Amino acid sequence: MLRVGLTGGIGSGKSAVAARLVERGAVLIDADRVAREVVAPGTDGLAEVVAAFSDAVLDADGALDRAALGAVVFADESARRRLEAITHPRVRARTAELTAAAAPDAIVVNDVPLLVEVGLAPTYHLVLVVQTAVSTRLERLARDRGMSRAEAERRIAAQADDARRRAAADVVLTNDGSLAALHDAVDLLWRQRLVPYEDNVRQRRVVPADQVDLAGADASWPEQYARLAARIRHALGSDALRIDHIGSTAVPGLAAQNVIDVQVAVSSLADADGPLADRLANAGFPRVPGQWWDDPRPAGRGRWEKRLHGSADPARPVRLHVRVADSPGWRYALLMRDHLRADPDQRAAYLLLKRDLVDAAPEAGDSGTARDPWFDEEYLRAEQWAEQTDWHP
């Protein structure tokens, strides 16, 4: 199944997005609803809340008075953290149960107001953030929930700010317009990304990179890599000895094919062929069929074997190179990246070479440049630079 994390600041219109996704066919797990369930009357969760905050947080019927509790925790960070320590583990456990009960081909949307704050982004295949101007959110909170401006501002300040949510977001839906416009954006996302993404994950199918002209340098590539790396780290844990952003998109200012290259270091390729491959596929990074290796530097030294995975996300092509830590291929990928970062002249020369070769063979993209003799010359230059600078990977 595809797991989507949905979040947004209070008053952003996240619930409207959730409702539209359900209309399209998503399975919704509402974290607020689950949070109420785990502290319902008679639960051990409610008993622990009362033990922490006294029975002043109960109403006349013995149920949790959420307004009274909110008045305590939103004004006191330590109190909020005590409450989170009680509720969050229970919410996670119940969420896991509900997810497991969904159909194997489901698109499961977790509506989690504090997704970013509690560090859940890497646990999803994709994170969707609803973003709305603060002024609009304040108006909505006063109109729809009867909040005073001071209370609404406190609630907004207690959550992550827009910049932090955007950094965690694979998709940002702006909700400053009409409801119809928001629905159109959700429908487009559903058709073009979520449905094919789910199918690709289930079929373990890799999305091929479009063989197009080089894209201009994108300042968001490192941020996109960071989200991918966090998911890979979550999936692999300590089996990934190291994860690095490599290739052209890892070199600031360098035009490249819009594909993020990621290198995962493992102890052995036997490890890469075991459960690790399944865990990557389940996280949205299926194995690319076939045998894969890198051309050695300098030439004639035997090929450098590796494993190659890609992305199931139709909107984010990835080449995920699994190499043995400290192997020649692993070292070379890091050496070339760092040398090009450090040497603007060679960076410019590499860009000219890429443009010439892509023009000559557009079907190969910039991945078709690796066998050009320039790379053997660059390898020697990079090794000299490494010795002069005492570079180590």
98-145 residue pLDDT tens: 999 999 999 999 999 889 988 999 999 999 999 888 777 777 777 778
pLDDT, tens digit (0-9, with 9 covering 90-100), for 45-102? 999 999 999 988 899 889 999 888 988 888 788 998 899 899 989 988 999 999 999 9
The pLDDT of residue 55 is 87
Cα separation, 18 vs 14, whole angstroms: 6
- Alpha carbon of residue 296 to chain centroid: 32
Q: Is 290 left (phi over 0), alpha (psi -120 to 50) or beta?
A: left
The pLDDT of residue 363 is 55
The pLDDT of residue 304 is 92
Sign (positive or negative) of CA dihedral 195, 201, 202, 204:
positive
Cα separation, 251 vs 391, whole angstroms: 17
Per DSSP, the three-state class of 359 is helix
Under-70 pLDDT residues of the chain: 210-213, 300, 359-371
Q: Are 379 and 332 in contact (CB under 8 A)?
A: yes
The pLDDT of residue 169 is 94
- Alpha carbon of residue 233 to chain centroid: 11
The pLDDT of residue 362 is 55
The pLDDT of residue 384 is 95
Q: Return the structure tokens found at 131.
A: 């973003």
For residue 126, what are the β-bridge partners? 4
Q: Are 209 and 362 in contact (CB under 8 A)?
A: no
